[in-house]
């Protein structure tokens, strides 16, 4: 599959990733029109777009898992000097028909204390929302850990949560250590450090394990979490820019060269590197200089390796492109 060191730069043209559909008790049975997928048995709650089990859907590496590609070709994907041979970000779409558990994620320090490689800071970009949609992000002002423990034991933790009304297009930072919960009423694009470590504090009576002691250790009563204001630049909108990831929204009409897509340093954009392109709405095409092309349909995601040759993104109009860039470890 050309994943070893003998591969050439042309082997690393942008490639589409095939998503993985993950069963969750709180999920949907029918993901249409977002994805052409109907659950055969258990509901689907998460669509993993960059999970280790996801596969390359196009190009010379088609059929290879992302786990294999990052393990065998970290330099081509992440750039020279990369210190990790794995995907730095996990990107998902969340479909919540019922309330998720009330939970908290550890930061890097606490995760490593318990043998995990990293913690989990994440963000939610609201792809769609009902008029009364809300998410739980953080604790009510003044809440103490003793009060949180009592609320968990008494089944009243929900009353201690800070509710955040949300609308389509909102960006919410969920810093590690923040007590939070996803509620029905919105469809979320979630971008996070690559970790599946979750400490459940309360789960509405579902027969799943709780992690109360570790969860209380992870909680920070005050964090940076909440809505993040977008920053409009000349050719894009920066939705969020943190120590772990940068997310931009780019409206593509006509033809945009990859160098421009990656950003002009004079406009304070990040330098070129691994990125993911997610079609939040509309459709387009990625075309290489040799005229090879890759269709970018709604909700498709494309991996752009650091070693990718020049290319164009084309659309007659209406392509709502979300560009997701991991921050290199040197910046943290």
Predicted confidence (pLDDT) at residue 298 exceeds the cutoff of 50 = yes
Residue 11 lies in a domain: no
**Residue at which a domain ends, from 192, 227, 262:** 227
Give the residue-averaged pLDDT of 321-330: 83
Number of folded domains that form the chain? 2
Predicted confidence (pLDDT) at residue 269 exceeds the cutoff of 50 = no
- 191 and 283 share one domain: no
Through-space distance between the first and last CA atoms of the chain, rounded to whole angstroms: 33
pLDDT for position 140: 94
- 215 and 237 share one domain: no
241 strand-pairing partners = 246
- 195 and 95 share one domain: yes
186 strand-pairing partners = 129
- 222 and 272 share one domain: no
Predicted confidence (pLDDT) at residue 132 exceeds the cutoff of 80 = yes
pLDDT for position 83: 66
Residue 173 lies in a domain: yes
- 199 and 131 share one domain: yes
Distance CA 291, CA 275 (A): 22
Q: pLDDT by residue (tens digit) across 247-256? A: 999 999 999 9
pLDDT for position 329: 58
- Contact in structure between 105 and 93 (CB atoms under 8 Å): no
- CB proximity list for 81: less than 8 A, separation 6 or greater: none
171 strand-pairing partners = 125
Domain containing residue 239: CATH number: 2.60.120.10
Phi, psi dihedral angles at 107 (to 5 degrees): -85, 180
Closest alpha carbon to 269 in 238, 307, 301: 238
**Residue at which a domain ends, from 227, 243, 273:** 227
Predicted confidence (pLDDT) at residue 136 exceeds the cutoff of 90 = yes
Q: pLDDT by residue (tens digit) across 184-237? A: 999 999 999 999 899 999 999 999 999 999 999 999 999 999 999 999 999 999
Residue 59 lies in a domain: no
Query: CA separation (Å) from 76 to 12, 87, 308, 321?
Result: 7, 12, 8, 23
Predicted confidence (pLDDT) at residue 305 exceeds the cutoff of 70 = yes
Q: Is 0.85 surpassed by the pTM of this model?
A: yes
- 187 and 306 share one domain: no
**Residue at which a domain ends, from 202, 227, 252:** 227
- 140 and 266 share one domain: no
- 136 and 243 share one domain: no
- Contact in structure between 276 and 324 (CB atoms under 8 Å): yes
- 27 and 169 share one domain: yes
Give the residue-averaged pLDDT of 161-178: 98
Containing structural domain, residue 210: 20-53+88-227
Q: pLDDT by residue (tens digit) across 98-121? A: 999 999 999 999 999 999 999 999
Predicted confidence (pLDDT) at residue 72 exceeds the cutoff of 80 = yes
Phi, psi dihedral angles at 207 (to 5 degrees): -80, 60
- 153 and 216 share one domain: yes
- Contact in structure between 111 and 117 (CB atoms under 8 Å): yes
Residue 166 lies in a domain: yes
- 26 and 44 share one domain: yes
Give the residue-averaged pLDDT of 59-77: 95
- 254 and 208 share one domain: no
């Amino acid at each position: 599959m050309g994943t070893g060191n003998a591969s050439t730069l042309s082997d690393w043209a942008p490639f589409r990733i095939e998503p993985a559909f993950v069963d969750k008790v709180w999920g949907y049975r029918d993901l249409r029109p977002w994805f052409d997928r109907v659950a055969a048995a258990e509901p689907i709650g998460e669509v993993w777009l960059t999970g280790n089990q996801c596969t390359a859907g196009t190009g010379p590496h088609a059929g290879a898992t992302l786990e294999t590609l990052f393990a065998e070709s970290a330099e081509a994907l992440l750039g020279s000097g990369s210190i990790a041979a794995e995907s730095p970000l996990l990107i998902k779409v969340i479909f919540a028909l019922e309330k998720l558990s009330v939970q908290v994620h550890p930061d890097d320090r606490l995760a490593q204390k318990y043998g995990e490689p990293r913690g989990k800071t994440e963000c939610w970009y609201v792809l769609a929302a009902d008029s009364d949609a809300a998410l739980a992000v953080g604790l009510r002002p003044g809440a103490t850990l003793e009060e949180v423990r009592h609320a968990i034991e008494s089944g009243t933790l929900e009353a201690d949560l800070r509710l955040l009304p949300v609308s389509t297009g909102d960006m919410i930072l969920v810093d590690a250590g923040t007590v939070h919960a996803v509620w029905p009423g919105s469809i979320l694009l979630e971008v996070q450090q690559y970790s599946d470590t979750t400490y459940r504090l309360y789960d509405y009576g579902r027969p799943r394990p709780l992690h109360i002691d570790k969860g209380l250790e992870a909680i920070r009563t005050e964090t940076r979490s909440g809505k993040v204001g977008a920053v409009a630049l000349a050719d894009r909108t920066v939705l969020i820019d943190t120590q772990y990831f940068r997310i931009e929204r780019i409206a593509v009409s006509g033809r945009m060269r990859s160098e421009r897509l990656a950003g002009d340093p004079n406009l304070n954009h990040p330098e070129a590197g691994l990125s993911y392109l997610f079609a939040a709405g509309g459709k387009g095409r990625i075309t290489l200089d040799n005229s090879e092309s890759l269709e970018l349909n709604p909700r498709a995601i494309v991996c752009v390796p650091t070693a990718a040759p020049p290319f164009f993104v084309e659309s007659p109009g209406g392509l709502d492109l979300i560009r997701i860039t991991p921050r290199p470890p040197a910046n943290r």
